[in-house]
Amino acid sequence: MSGDSGAPTNFIRQIIDDDLASGKHARIHTRFPPEPNGYLHIGHAKSIVLNFGIAQDYPGSCNLRFDDTNPAKEEEEFVEAIKDDVRWLGYDWDALRFASDYFEQLYEYALELIRSGKAFVCDLDAEQVREYRGTLTEPGRPSPYRDRSIEENLDLFQRMRAGDFPDGSRTLRAKIDMASPNINMRDPALYRIRHGLIHHQTGAEWCIYPMYDYTHPISDALEGITHSLCTLEFEDHRPLYDWVLDNITIACHPRQIEFSRLNLEYTVMSKRRLTQLVQEKHVSGWNDPRMPTIAGLRRRGYTPEAIRSFCEAVGVTKSEGTVEMGVLENSIRGHLDAVAPRRMVVLDPLKVTISNYPDDTSEALPAGNHPKDESMGTREVVFTREVYIDRADFREEANKKYKRLVLGGEVRLRNAYVVRCDEAIKDADGEIVELRCTYDPDTLGHNPEGRKVRGVIHWVSATHGQRAEVRLYDRLFSTANPGRGGQDFLDDINADSLRVLSECVVEPALTSATAGERFQFEREGYFVVDAVDSRAGAPVFNRIVSLRDSWGKIAED
């Protein structure tokens, strides 16, 4: 049942299997319930893949529901961005809902709670409530307003809605148990008063807003959710979730199941911190390619497929851990290796003159777009007397392990000829400014006989290539767990997380690349045409991820 997509099973899917087998449910209904107070991040993707993935694999459905009970923090911009991100990830909701759709029903249920003596209007202010609540080790004391008559509570609550009382002056509270060892059960607030806010869905219609703990179970039940999946910090809230549904007249009682949230090395995931990065302009916005947001990963060049397979790879459990960044990187490498056309780009150009190649000639050489997939076809690269190679691909001398160009040595120019380096020309400071090489005309398409070249390097024609900007992104933070030990996480920002290279040379086939197109720059990594800053005929490239590099780990000789 759960294996249809090849998605690995987990304890939640096992519970669902059991519920289907026992006949408790014939159909599964999940929901993804974001609060529109920020952009979605990779941690939300885990929840999205879980919830929508279950709906896909079982006979089931999944709603997108905005948990919009706190208009002070929520905005329409965020609801639109979230819808975009969910769709981009490849999912479509069965129903689009807002918790605010249920405000009227929520209000009616609150009246029911009051009528049955399960809720009361409390006149304590926030500080007094805190004093009465007790501590982790001491029980709380009942509010002096706890035993008001039902009639008075009804009247007061109706007047709360009518706007008769100022912010913070009163709350509606559940009447549960002030001595409960679970603080969430110590007569939690159900409604608070908030004047003067324009809610993005309901406008100025309400001046009282329901709390999450009250809204969520009822919203779930109203939608016929069977399994309400949330993160571990809500485990303590489950008794309250159940209490609400057990004490009102409602037919459905979803099962809340908690799983551990995603933690990723070298980044931060809390909305508070992401918001701070954006507001204080440590990044260019929610979609900065270094951000772990879906919008950031999208602009960075990640694919929905890669993010989905990443989410499946990390699994779903109740134990907390931190996933290595390499797992995310491998997910995109794996996908793009299969589908990204290959191109040649020189990031740090060093001019090479092929002395024995005629000045007035050029050759259009066919180059495969993919080494293992001929269906991806070929394009032409232009070979000329002057080409660029990368500075890192030449050394005056090196040991045998160095598989690139050395003085007096031979190397193949990818898709073209074998060349030998005869001379390195230096400027007054001793810096190499040009290489003089000779090429072997008999090495096109086959290797020379009787001798072995050191390796293969990429190149671009100096006369046919085009300058382009390439942005090299690295992890946003320099430590695996930013801000650990209580210090400011901003101190851990990686100062080199973005390097802009403006003098790169790209092969002709790349000048017409359009926004969002992804390529492998051979021997370098995977790159995407930036959707924001590229211009027609002048693409800007973002590095998505470098190629795996076993050479970089070997100590320099």
List the catalytic residues: 35, 261, 271
DSSP 74-88: --HHHHHHHHHHHHH
| Shortest Å distance, C-beta 323 to RNA | 5
Q: Which of 76, 77, 92, 233 binds RNA (CB under 7 A)?
A: 233
Query: How many residues line the site for RNA (CB under 7 A)?
Result: 93
Q: Examine residue 168 and tell whether it contacts RNA (CB under 7 A).
A: yes
Classify 1 as helix, strand or coil.
coil
Q: Examine residue 211 and tell whether it contacts RNA (CB under 7 A).
A: yes
Q: Which single residue is written with the structure tokens 């979605």?
A: 40
Element (H, E) at 171: strand 171-174
Give the separation between CA 216 and CA 75, rounded to whole angstroms: 19
Count CB-CB contacts under 10 A for residue 87.
13
Q: Which residues, 293 to 312, sit near RNA by CB under 7 A?
A: none
Q: Examine residue 178 and tell whether it contacts RNA (CB under 7 A).
A: no
| Shortest Å distance, C-beta 93 to RNA | 17
Q: Cβ distance 332 to 306 under 8 Å?
A: yes
Q: Examine residue 397 and tell whether it contacts RNA (CB under 7 A).
A: no
Q: Which of 105, 169, 356, 487 binds RNA (CB under 7 A)?
A: 169
Q: Which single residue is written with the structure tokens 């008001």?
A: 148
| Shortest Å distance, C-beta 143 to RNA | 10
Q: Which residues, 518 to 557, sit near RNA by CB under 7 A?
A: 520, 522-523, 547-551, 553-554
Q: Examine residue 273 and tell whether it contacts RNA (CB under 7 A).
A: no
Q: Which of 146, 351, 370, 436 binds RNA (CB under 7 A)?
A: 370
Q: Which of 126, 150, 204, 538 binds RNA (CB under 7 A)?
A: 126
* CB closer to RNA out of 105 and 447: 447
Binding map of RNA across residues 409-428, x = CB under 7 A, - = no contact: ---x-xxx------------
Element (H, E) at 500: strand 498-506
Classify 501 as helix, strand or coil.
strand
Which DSSP letter does residue 477 get?
B
DSSP 295-317: HHHHHHT--HHHHHHHHHHH---
Rounded to the nearest 5 degrees, what angle is found at the Cα of 347, between the Cα atoms of 266 and 388? Answer: 160
* CB closer to RNA out of 87 and 551: 551
Q: Which stretch binds RNA (CB under 7 A): 55-63, 64-72, 88-96, 244-252?
A: 64-72
Give the separation between CA 340 and CA 156, rounded to whole angstroms: 65
Q: Phi and psi at residue 50, in whole multiples of 5°? A: -65, -55
* CB closer to RNA out of 33 and 60: 33
Give the separation between CA 464 and CA 466, rounded to whole angstroms: 7
Q: Tell me the C-alpha to C-alpha distance, in Å, between residue 242 and each of 235, 246, 257, 327.
A: 12, 6, 12, 37
| Shortest Å distance, C-beta 152 to RNA | 18
Classify 109 as helix, strand or coil.
helix
Burial category of 193 from C-beta neighbours within 10 Å (exposed 0-12, middle 13-18, buried 19 and up): buried
Q: Examine residue 330 and tell whether it contacts RNA (CB under 7 A).
A: yes
Q: Which of 35, 220, 223, 390 binds RNA (CB under 7 A)?
A: 35
Q: Which of 181, 377, 441, 516 binds RNA (CB under 7 A)?
A: 181
The secondary structure of the chain in percent helix, strand, coil, rounded to multiples of 5, reads: 30, 25, 45
| Shortest Å distance, C-beta 536 to RNA | 28
Q: Examine residue 161 and tell whether it contacts RNA (CB under 7 A).
A: no
Q: Which residues, 426 to 455, sit near RNA by CB under 7 A?
A: 443-447, 455
Integer distance in angstroms from the first to the last C-alpha of the chain?
55
Q: Which residues, 78 to 107, sit near RNA by CB under 7 A?
A: none
Q: Examine residue 145 and tell whether it contacts RNA (CB under 7 A).
A: no
Tell which residue, 266, 262, 376, has the closest CA to residue 329: 266
Q: Which of 152, 205, 324, 442 binds RNA (CB under 7 A)?
A: 324
* CB closer to RNA out of 61 and 443: 443
Q: Cβ distance 308 to 99 under 8 Å?
A: no
Q: Examine residue 65 and tell whether it contacts RNA (CB under 7 A).
A: no
Q: Examine residue 129 and tell whether it contacts RNA (CB under 7 A).
A: yes
Q: Examine residue 184 and tell whether it contacts RNA (CB under 7 A).
A: yes
| Shortest Å distance, C-beta 134 to RNA | 7
Q: Examine residue 236 and tell whether it contacts RNA (CB under 7 A).
A: yes
Element (H, E) at 471: strand 466-473
| Shortest Å distance, C-beta 537 to RNA | 26
Q: Examine residue 1 and tell whether it contacts RNA (CB under 7 A).
A: no
* CB closer to RNA out of 313 and 462: 313
Burial category of 479 from C-beta neighbours within 10 Å (exposed 0-12, middle 13-18, buried 19 and up): middle
Spatial CB neighbours of 372, under 8 Å, sequence gap ≥ 6 = none
| Shortest Å distance, C-beta 322 to RNA | 5
Sheet holding 432-440, edge to edge: 456-457, 410-413, 418-426, 432-440, 349-354, 386-390, 460-461
Q: Which residues, 474 to 503, sit near RNA by CB under 7 A?
A: none
* CB closer to RNA out of 152 and 549: 549
* CB closer to RNA out of 324 and 533: 324
Q: Tell me the C-alpha to C-alpha distance, in Å, between residue 166 and each of 102, 120, 161.
A: 24, 18, 11
| Shortest Å distance, C-beta 225 to RNA | 15
Q: Which residues, 456 to 475, sit near RNA by CB under 7 A?
A: 456-457
| Shortest Å distance, C-beta 278 to RNA | 18
* CB closer to RNA out of 49 and 498: 49
Q: Which residues, 336 to 365, sit near RNA by CB under 7 A?
A: 337, 342
